[in-house]
Amino acid sequence: MRADLRHLSARGGQLWRQPEFLKLWAGTSISTLGSQITVLALPLTAVLLFQAGPAETGVLTAAGVAPMLLFGLPAGAWLDRLPRRPIRIAADLASALVIASVPLAAMLGVLQLGQLYVAAFLAGTCAVWTRLSVSAMLPSLVGRENLLEANTKTMVSFSVAQIAGPSLAGILVQAFSAPLALLADAVSFVVSAVCVARVRLEEPHVAAAQRRRIWRDVAEGVLWLRGESVLFRLTVSIGLANLAWYGVQAIIVVYATDQLGVPPALLGLTLGTIGPAALVGALVAGHVARRLGVGPTLVLALSGEALSRVVLLFAGGAPEVAALCIAISQAIFGFIAPLWDVNANSLRQSATPERLLGRVAAASMVVSTGMAPVGALLAGWIGQTIGLRAALLETTVVTLIALVVLVRSPVPGLREPAAATSLEPA
């Protein structure tokens, strides 16, 4: 890796005195909480209102993640040309309109399963811009020396949302119905847009003379990522793991409710166990990396993800016992996910030149999540034709393959961020 990563700070607490970051963090945290409600409420709408099975929920999940593959690369290139803050505001407001269309249609009595697919696709398209804009804004907003702290705080917010979101979604669904629960997410995006609108950010300007055809800009970001051994191997490994993860997401609601008999309210509480574990993982991510080394921490994280798949595969028995198995699987994954995200994201953001931040983030996102629609559709098809446990077995095998790819790479030898400069390119 050619870029010097030694300026990543191990200190914490610097950002509490930076109001502009706090505004962005507040908006992102609120919209993240709302989105966690939708993660459960949208597939429950399909299952409870339209008796959707594994194939239908697989299509629904695929529709939500397909925009990452379709639009991620050009979106990253445009983010390196345009101001990033206004893009985030527009994406938040568009997300609010898309999500609100579902409960509105339900109240009017015209909601159809096809509208859920369209809403999932459009919301996923907006999410591409929100995710990439925040990733590209952080280095300018907080300074590269504070990226580890910024990513840790963002992951803490996500963890808290995972604690409250599914549980709140289960309660809202039980009390008001699944589509009406989505109103909370729509409101959260409006609040986020207001918070981000108050952020003062000095953004880099790209002169018109520097702009080339959009696909040449895209290619530059992809080729830069391909030439960085550590970042590229990390991206490939998490791409395979995400293929499995989105397969699980596609069938978990059907698996839990139809096959295991877990009621919606208990399912919400069960899925919510990912949050406390993720909060602990986010808080200790930096410490674990300093203790074990960055590379071993990343290997540990992916090993834990494989273990979570095995636990989920063997869930069964009474609904309460099955819910406990799902909760254990969620807790394992919740703890290890921040270990990966905080360290991997900080490495990528710190190593990437300012002019390439949007494109490299997009290239990384497309490679890491581009197979997610395939994972969702594959798991849904296997679950429909062979069985849900067979689909879960497929996700377990794919995760183990991702672990092998990571172990057979330069990553395990990376003890600290600066050591990445000494590894040979792939």
379 burial via Cβ count (<10 Å: 0-12, 13-18, 19+) = buried
CATH number at residue 245: 1.20.1250.20
Q: Which residue has the higher pLDDT, 406 or 65?
A: 406
Dist. CA 109–CA 191, nearest whole Å: 28
Domain membership flag for residue 6: no
Residue 2 lies inside a defined structural domain of this protein: no
Angle at CA of residue 170, ends 164 and 172, nearest 5°? 95
| Residue 56 clears pLDDT 90, i.e. is over it | no
Digit-coded pLDDT (tens) for 216-264: 777 777 788 777 777 888 888 888 998 898 888 888 888 888 888 888 7
DSSP three-state, residue 238: helix
At residue 139, does pLDDT exceed 80? no
Whether 147 maps to a domain, the answer reads yes
74, two tokens? 């050009």
Compute the distance between CA of residue 31 and CA of residue 23 in angstroms, rounded to an integer. 13
Q: Helix (H, G, I), strand (E, B), or coil: what is residue 160?
A: helix
CB atoms near residue 384 (< 10 Å): 18
Q: How far apart are CA 79 and CA 71, in angstroms?
A: 12
Q: Is residue 351 part of a domain?
A: yes
For residue 246, give the H/E element and its range: helix 229-254
Most confident of 44-48, 160-164, 414-418: 44-48
pTM, to two decimals: 0.69
Q: Is 276:160 a contact under the CB 8 Å cutoff? A: no
Whole-number pLDDT of residue 154: 82
Q: Output the CA torsion sign for 216, 222, 226, 231.
A: positive
Tell me if 24 is assigned to some domain: yes
Is residue 9 domain-resident? Answer: no
Count the domains in the chain: 1
Instruction: State the Cα–Cα distance between residues 25 and 136, nearest whole angstrom.
Output: 14
Count the residues in the chain.
426
Residues 6+ apart with CB under 8 A from 408: none
Is residue 161 included in any domain, yes or no? yes
**Domain housing 232:** 14-204+214-422
In-domain check, residue 255: yes
Q: Are 281 and 339 in contact (CB under 8 A)?
A: yes
Whole-number Å distance between alpha carbons of 92 and 192: 7
- List pLDDT tens digits, range 335-358: 998 888 888 877 777 777 767 777
